[in-house]
Amino acid sequence: MDNINWWLFGIITLFLIIAYLLGRLHSKSIEIPDDLPAKILQAIQGSINPRQGKMAELLTYAELRYDYDRIIPLGWPIDFIGIKNNQQIDFIEVKSGAAALLTEEEKHIKNLITTGRVHFRLIKITEEEIHKFVSARKEE
């Protein structure tokens, strides 16, 4: 039985290599025209910038863990929440490169925080409510 598994693995691997090589043979090189619209170039750059932003967030997280007792990564629309000395909660947004400006949504959240319109909300759900929800999902 063990020999059959190795044989099958070998056949699948060989098939994947052949498919890859055939794909490479049939691919055509794509030439990018000089007059490519600016919006398309911005879209291409936009796909690169988030990677740089994520790297900046990772590096910032590594540094923030020394400033806070607890760091909670959110990702979007705010990057982190930091809890310091059990007396302070900070909403943290990381920007890198040309993305130094806050988005409209980030500006709105900042305004809500600075004007003191932040609340704590506790929602309690009973086990009966959970069972009703699960049962309703199973019937669908």
Number of structural domains the chain divides into: 1
Range of the domain at 103: 37-139
In a domain, residue 29? The reply is no
59 in any annotated domain = yes
pLDDT at 48: 47
Residue 1 — very low, low, confident or very high, per pLDDT cuts 50/70/90? very low
Match 């004007």 to its residue by tokens.
115
Any domain includes 64: yes
The pTM is what? 0.53
Is residue 75 domain-resident?
yes
Per-residue pLDDT tens over the stretch 23-40 = 655 555 545 555 555 555
Taken in order 120, 126, 127, 132, is the CA torsion positive or negative?
Answer: negative
Residue 24 lies in a domain: no
Would 68 be classed as within a structural domain? yes
Asked whether residue 30 is domain-assigned, the answer is no
112 inside domain = yes
